[in-house]
C-alpha cells in the first residue's frame, strides 16, 4: 500500500469513527459536512490532486471517490438507525401503562362489560320467534334500489317512496345503492333463494340495522333496528298474521299488554295494517311517549302483495303469505318503560348499568 492509499484508509477510518460517535439526527446533520461533505478530509485530499499528472489524478481520484461513497452509504444507514431510535423513544414517552394507573377512589370498582340493551333485546326477540317455529335469517345493510324498493312494489317515482327518507350511497355504480331503510329487502333475498333451491315454504325472521334520515326524538332514531317476519306457505290467511302478532305480544311483553291492528297502506302488502300495543309507560292512560293515545305503534304488517311474489318468481296462485316488521329499539323502549328512545344511544353509564 502506498502513502496515498494509506492516507485514504486513514481518512475513511476517522470518518467512520466520527459517524459512530453521532447520537441524534440533529447532530448528524450538523457534523455531516466535516465527515463526508465540503469541510471533510475527503474534500481536502481531492484538492491536493491538482499537482499530480492526469493519469495519477484519475486513478487516485477513483479510489478516493469509492471510499467517500462507502462512507456516505454508512451515513445513510446511520440516519435510518437514528430515526428508528428517535421514534422508539417518542413512543415510549407517550406510552400509557394502564396497569400503573392508581384508582383514586374505592368507588371506581372494575366491572365486567355486558351486552347492550338493543343487542340483548334482539336476542330475546329471536328466542321468542324461534320458539314459535321461525328460523333466523340475515341480510346486507347496503342494498341496491331494486331490493330495497322495486322488488317490494315501490317503483321509481312511486309516491310511497316518500314514506322512507333514504340515505343514498355513491359507489360510482350504474345501479342506485342505498343504506336499507327497512329489513324488508331480506324477504326478497329469502324468497329468491327458496325459489332457486326449491325450498319453499318459508317461516323466518330477519333482524338488523336500518337507516333513515329521521330527526331523533322520543320514538325515532336515524340508525335503528328492525326485525322482519316472513311466512310463505299454502293457505295462509290474515287470521294467521293476527294470531302470530298476538302470540308474540303476549310472549314478549306479558299477558297484561294487548295488541291491535289498524288499517294502513304498504306497497308490498295487501291488505296492510299497522299493529300497536298498549303503552307500557302509562298502561293505556295516555302520556307524552304515546302522544296521549294509550297505544304505541310497533310496526307494519300485511298479506304479501302478488306483485312482490311475481318479482321473485313465486306463483301467487299456489302460495300465499304474510310479512311484518317492527322496531327492536321500540320493543326495548316499551319492555323497559323508557320514555325517550334517545337514551339508547347517549352512552350514559348510569343508564347502561341498569341492564347488566
Mean pLDDT, the chain, whole residue set: 86
pLDDT digits (tens, 9 = 90+) for 13-42: 888 888 888 888 888 888 888 888 788 888
Cα three-residue angle 204-320-298, rounded to 5 degrees = 50
Most confident stretch, 41-50, 151-160, 220-229: 220-229
pLDDT of residue 144: 92
Q: In 198-267, at which residue ranges do the beta strands (DSSP E only) sit?
A: 202-211, 223-233, 259-266
Residues of the chain with pLDDT > 70, as a percent, come to: 94
Q: What does the pLDDT average to over 282-289?
A: 85
d(CA 351, CA 134): 33
pLDDT of residue 3: 57
Does 110 have pLDDT greater than 90?
A: no
Binning pLDDT at 50, 70 and 90, where does residue 211 land? very high
Does 102 have pLDDT greater than 60?
A: no
pLDDT of residue 330: 86
d(CA 173, CA 171): 5
**Neighbour-count burial of 93, counting CB atoms closer than 10 A to its CB (0-12 exposed, 13-18 middle, 19+ buried):** exposed
Q: Which of the two residues, 189 and 332, has the higher pLDDT score?
A: 189
pLDDT of residue 89: 87
Whole-model pTM: value is 0.64
pLDDT of residue 123: 94
Binning pLDDT at 50, 70 and 90, where does residue 109 land? low
d(CA 46, CA 50): 8
Does 218 have pLDDT greater than 80?
A: no
Q: What does the pLDDT average to over 5-11?
A: 81
d(CA 346, CA 298): 22
Q: Determine the straight-line distance between the first and last CA of the chain, rounded to whole angstroms.
A: 83
Residues of the chain with pLDDT > 90, as a percent, come to: 41
Does 342 have pLDDT greater than 90?
A: no
d(CA 353, CA 109): 13
DSSP string covering 175-213, please? S-EEE-SSSTHHHHHHHHHHHHHT---EEEEEEEEEE--
Residues 6+ apart with CB under 8 A from 102: none
Long-range contacts of the stretch 347-354 (C-beta < 8 A, 24+) = 352/116, 352/117
Residue with cell 396497569: 99
Q: What does the pLDDT average to over 276-298?
A: 87
Written as nine digits, the cell of 199 is: 325450498
d(CA 72, CA 66): 10
pLDDT of residue 179: 93
Q: Which of the two residues, 238 and 91, has the higher pLDDT score?
A: 238
pLDDT of residue 98: 61
Q: Specify whether the backbone of 323 is left (phi greater than 0), alpha (psi in -120 to 50) or beta.
A: beta
Query: How far, rounded to the nearest angstrom, does the alpha carbon of residue 116 sit from its chain's CA centroid?
Result: 16
Helix/strand/coil percentages in the chain, nearest 5: 45, 20, 35
pLDDT of residue 213: 86
Most confident stretch, 14-18, 95-99, 291-295: 291-295
pLDDT of residue 108: 56
Written as nine digits, the cell of 1 is: 500500500
Q: Answer for the pair 272, 301: CB distance below 8 angstroms, yes or no.
A: yes
d(CA 63, CA 96): 52
User: H/E element holding 136?
Assistant: strand 135-136
User: Order of strands, edge to edge, in the sheet holding 142-144?
Assistant: 142-144, 177-179, 168-169
Q: Which of the two residues, 222 and 227, has the higher pLDDT score?
A: 227
pLDDT digits (tens, 9 = 90+) for 238-274: 999 999 999 999 999 888 888 999 999 999 999 999 9
pLDDT of residue 1: 44
pLDDT of residue 229: 96
pLDDT of residue 35: 81
Q: Which of the two residues, 123 and 216, has the higher pLDDT score?
A: 123
Q: What does the pLDDT average to over 74-92?
A: 87
Least confident span in 13-22, 103-112, 260-269, 347-356: 103-112
Residues 6+ apart with CB under 8 A from 170: 177
Q: What does the pLDDT average to over 3-20?
A: 81
pLDDT of residue 281: 83
Amino acid at each position: 500500500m502506498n502513502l496515498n492509499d494509506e492516507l485514504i484508509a486513514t481518512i475513511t477510518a476517522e470518518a467512520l469513527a466520527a459517524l459512530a460517535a453521532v447520537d441524534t439526527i440533529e447532530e448528524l446533520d450538523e457534523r455531516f459536512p466535516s465527515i463526508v461533505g465540503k469541510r471533510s478530509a475527503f474534500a481536502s485530499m481531492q484538492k491536493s490532486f491538482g499537482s499530480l499528472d492526469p493519469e495519477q489524478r484519475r486513478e487516485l481520484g477513483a479510489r478516493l471517490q469509492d471510499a467517500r461513497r462507502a462512507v456516505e452509504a454508512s451515513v445513510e444507514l446511520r440516519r435510518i438507525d437514528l430515526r428508528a431510535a428517535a421514534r422508539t423513544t417518542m413512543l415510549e414517552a407517550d406510552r400509557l401503562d394502564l396497569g400503573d394507573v392508581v384508582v383514586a377512589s374505592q368507588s371506581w370498582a372494575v366491572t365486567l362489560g355486558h351486552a347492550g340493551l338493543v343487542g340483548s333485546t334482539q336476542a330475546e326477540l329471536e328466542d321468542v320467534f324461534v320458539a314459535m317455529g321461525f328460523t333466523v335469517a340475515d341480510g346486507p345493510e347496503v342494498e341496491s334500489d331494486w331490493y330495497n324498493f322495486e322488488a317490494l312494489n315501490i317503483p321509481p317515482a312511486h309516491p310511497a317512496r316518500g314514506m322512507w327518507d333514504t340515505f343514498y350511497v355513491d359507489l360510482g355504480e350504474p345501479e342506485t345503492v342505498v343504506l336499507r331503510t327497512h329489513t324488508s329487502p331480506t324477504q326478497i333475498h329469502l324468497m329468491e333463494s327458496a325459489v332457486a333451491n326449491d325450498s319453499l315454504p318459508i317461516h323466518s325472521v330477519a333482524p338488523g340495522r336500518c337507516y333513515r334520515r329521521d330527526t331523533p326524538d322520543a320514538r325515532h332514531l336515524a340508525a335503528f333496528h328492525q326485525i322482519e317476519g316472513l311466512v310463505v306457505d299454502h293457505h295462509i290467511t290474515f287470521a294467521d298474521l293476527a294470531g302470530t302478532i298476538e302470540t308474540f305480544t303476549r310472549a314478549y311483553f306479558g299477558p297484561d299488554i294487548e295488541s291491535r291492528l289498524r288499517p294502513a297502506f304498504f306497497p308490498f302488502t295487501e291488505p296492510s295494517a299497522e299493529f300497536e300495543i298498549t303503552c307500557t309507560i302509562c298502561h293505556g292512560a295516555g302520556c307524552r311517549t304515546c302522544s296521549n293515545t294509550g297505544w304505541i305503534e310497533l310496526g307494519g304488517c300485511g298479506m304479501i302483495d302478488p306483485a312482490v311474489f311475481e318479482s321473485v318468481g313465486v306463483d301467487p296462485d299456489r302460495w300465499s303469505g304474510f310479512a311484518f316488521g317492527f322496531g327492536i329499539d321500540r320493543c326495548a323502549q316499551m319492555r323497559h318503560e323508557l320514555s325517550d328512545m334517545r337514551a339508547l344511544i347517549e352512552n350514559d353509564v348510569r343508564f347502561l348499568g341498569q341492564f347488566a
